[in-house]
Amino acid sequence: MTLKVGVIGGGQLARMMIPAAINLGLDIRVLAETEGMSAALAASEVGDYRDLDTVLAFAETVDVVTFDHEHVPQPVLRALVERGVEVHPGPDALQYAQDKIDMRARLTELGLPVPAWAAVETEDELQQFIDAHGGAAVVKTARGGYDGKGVRVVRAAHEATDWFTALAEDARGGALLAEELVDFSRELAQLVARRPSGDIAAWPVVETLQRDGVCVEVIAPAPASAPAADEHTDAGASTVEANGTAAARHGRHLASPASADLVERAEQLGRAIAEGLGVTGVLAVEIFEASDGRLLVNELAMRPHNSGHFSIDGSTTSQFEQHLRAVLDLPLGDTSPFAPWSVMVNILGGPQDGPLDSRYGAALAAEPTAKIHNYGKDPRPGRKVGHVTVTGDRLDDVLQRARAAAAHFA
Ligand SMILES: Nc1ncnc2c1ncn2[C@@H]1O[C@H](COP(=O)(O)OP(=O)(O)OP(=O)(O)O)[C@@H](O)[C@H]1O
Ligand SMILES: [Mg+2]
């Protein structure tokens, strides 16, 4: 009997589960939002994930339901569970990936390290928070944000007037999340996977770089030290020489991986959250490494995540295979890296003059060691349309090759 996994949402995360499912001989079916999405190859249905009947009918065709995104409404999720559908992650866990205020409140209850925060309902409350936290705050909409949309640094409460107005017009009402502006030396991400029966597997912590709130680059494992202040400003440079020089100048060629202590602290944080929230499947914990060395949790994703794409080409078990194993409650795979370093660079926007594969002739010839991942999406400014991974022994060399390969698709 073939095991059947149903994925709600047809984006690139669902798409990248397909090869892993094929290799394991699983039947993977996707409920896509529209025709022609990234995961169209496995889309057995197109329909509205907010409609209970649509989702129920889809769930009846599979053994377990999982997700490409966290937007399926709680009432729909709970109705599935009541009818005996295996849903992973389940609604009790997923609520904390759906609402950043609920997430902050629960992590605080669990005694886990988070930035100072408050749920603010009025401009007065926000101004009080700003005044109490050094004259600045990061304001976030609790729901629906992604890629930095719904995140704003403010120094006065009126800079968030439009969001308070939108709240007032929203029938559900609610509050905005205010956070201290964290003084971080870098951002990290800890990926773990947890089975319903409780086993957990963790990948070594990675370093992530966000530009304008969007992930642009991931280094696995995280190097011992944070990048020099200007290193990443060279990340978009198009010539190999420029990048190579930049990396050498900043000594990344001498980079050693993060200390066992940092790896251990990040892993323990990931495990504590997976267990504390009852997460099943892959959990990504976005972390700030504060200037004083503390690790603070930024946000959570309960599905494969951009920070784990390196694992397709760089790890014995990819996050996509691991997610499928975990949601089916199968034994988890080994997470050892294939090479000392993996670097993943996102392809954002894509070429303006044609699809990604219009650049294959030049890109593949110039960068034979790069693994190119094309999500089959139409180019659009800032949109995640693909990524590149390079693995190897020397970080400066791997960084340079990955950036050079991605630059072919700009
Ligand atoms: N409290 C904070 N202090 C400093 N920087 C922050 C803070 N919160 C967020 N940021 C910056 O903004 C980025 C986006 O924030 P966050 O991850 O909360 O938003 P998002 O839009 O939900 O992101 P994602 O695309 O990961 O879902 C972070 O990666 C970080 O660079
Ligand atoms: Mg984020």
For residue range 322-345, list pLDDT tens digits in order.
999 999 999 999 999 999 999 999
- Find the 53 Cα to ligand 2 centroid distance in Å: 32
Q: What is the mean pLDDT of the chain?
A: 93
DSSP 322: H
CA 370 to chain CA mean position, Å: 21
Could you tell me if the CB of 39 is within 6 A of ligand 1? no
Tell me the HSE value of 301 on the side-chain side, using a 13 A CA sphere: 22
Residue 367 to residue 360: CA distance in whole angstroms: 10
Range in 26-40, 58-72, 138-152 the model is least confident about = 138-152
Cβ-based neighbours of 183, under 8 Å, separated by 6 or more: 290, 291
244: pLDDT strictly greater than 50? no
Residue 108 sits at the vertex; the CA angle it makes with 118 and 275, to the nearest 5 degrees, is 140
Could you tell me if the CB of 154 is within 6 A of ligand 1? no
242: pLDDT strictly greater than 50? no
Q: Which pLDDT does position 146 carry in this prediction?
A: 76
Q: Which pLDDT does position 210 carry in this prediction?
A: 94
Is residue 100 within 8 Å of residue 338, measured between CB atoms? no
Q: Which pLDDT does position 239 carry in this prediction?
A: 33
172: pLDDT strictly greater than 90? no
Residue 282 to residue 3: CA distance in whole angstroms: 19
Both ends of the chain: CA-CA distance in Å?
Answer: 45
Dihedral over alpha carbons 263, 265, 267, 270 (to 10 degrees): -140
Residue 274 to residues 3, 8, 127, 283, Cα–Cα distance (Å): 25, 21, 34, 7
Q: Which pLDDT does position 168 carry in this prediction?
A: 84
Give the distance between the most distant pair of CA atoms in the chain.
62
Nearest to 302 by CA among 53, 150, 103, 83: 103
Residue 356 to residue 407: CA distance in whole angstroms: 12
CA 152 to chain CA mean position, Å: 19
CA 97 to chain CA mean position, Å: 11
**Alpha-carbon torsion (356, 357, 361, 367), positive or negative:** positive
138: pLDDT strictly greater than 50? yes
Total-model pTM:
0.94
Q: Whose CA is nearest to atom 11 of ligand 1?
A: 213
Nearest ligand to the CA of 149 is 1
Cis peptide before 337 (omega within 30 of 0): no
Ligand 1, atom nearest to 149 Cα: 21
DSSP 367: -
Q: Which pLDDT does position 372 carry in this prediction?
A: 98
Range in 30-34, 71-75, 252-256 the model is least confident about = 252-256
Average pLDDT of the residues in 107-114: 98
248: pLDDT strictly greater than 60? no
Range in 23-37, 70-84, 215-229 the model is least confident about = 215-229
SS3 for 33?
A: coil
Q: Which pLDDT does position 252 carry in this prediction?
A: 60
Could you tell me if the CB of 211 is within 6 A of ligand 1? no
Nearest to 13 by CA among 32, 45, 39: 39
Could you tell me if the CB of 338 is within 6 A of ligand 1? no
Instruction: State the CB neighbour count (10 A cutoff) for residue 125.
Output: 17
Is residue 138 within 8 Å of residue 153, measured between CB atoms? yes
Is residue 288 within 8 Å of residue 115, measured between CB atoms? yes
Ligand 1, atom nearest to 208 Cα: 29
Q: Which pLDDT does position 235 carry in this prediction?
A: 44
Residue 155 to residue 370: CA distance in whole angstroms: 43
Q: Which pLDDT does position 173 carry in this prediction?
A: 73
238: pLDDT strictly greater than 70? no
Is residue 297 within 8 Å of residue 312, measured between CB atoms? no
Average pLDDT of the residues in 159-173: 87
Residue 3 to residue 239: CA distance in whole angstroms: 47
Nearest to 343 by CA among 241, 217, 216, 231: 217
Ligand 1, atom nearest to 147 Cα: 25
DSSP 319: H
**Residue 237's pLDDT band (cuts 50, 70, 90):** very low
Q: Which pLDDT does position 407 carry in this prediction?
A: 97
350: pLDDT strictly greater than 90? yes
Dihedrals phi, psi of 216, to nearest 5 degrees: -115, -30
Q: Which pLDDT does position 170 carry in this prediction?
A: 80
Dihedral over alpha carbons 96, 331, 312, 261 (to 10 degrees): 70
